[in-house]
Amino acid sequence: MANPIAAYIIQRVFGIPLIVYGGVFTILCFLITASIGILVRKDKWPYSFNWHLGMAYFSLTIALVHALLAITLYL
């Protein structure tokens, strides 16, 4: 593979490419973000509302990185 980033992200760990782990981590972060949002609305989140916002920006950032890395497979 010509592109070194693409070659790296398809390295397999336990038979699964690294980029797939990134995707699973990304979706988990979104689910945690949404869960915190729902708990805040139900008044069942004991910590600061900022956890929802912090996780939202973190999730969006890693989703963007994940997407950009995945696109390198087609460059």
Q: Which stretch binds ligand HEM (CB under 6 A): 2-10, 13-21, 33-41, 64-72?
A: 33-41
Kindly state the smallest distance separating residue 21's Cβ from ligand HEM, in Å. Answer: 20
* 47 within 8 A of 21, measured Cβ to Cβ: no
Quote the DSSP letter at residue 12.
E
Distance between CA atoms of 42 and 1, rounded to whole angstroms? 50
Kindly state the smallest distance separating residue 72's Cβ from ligand HEM, in Å. Answer: 24
| Residue 21 burial (CB count, 10 A) | 13
Q: Which residue is nearest to ligand HEM (CB)?
A: 37
Which residues contact ligand HEM by CB under 6 A? 30, 33-34, 37-38, 40-41, 52-53, 56, 59-60
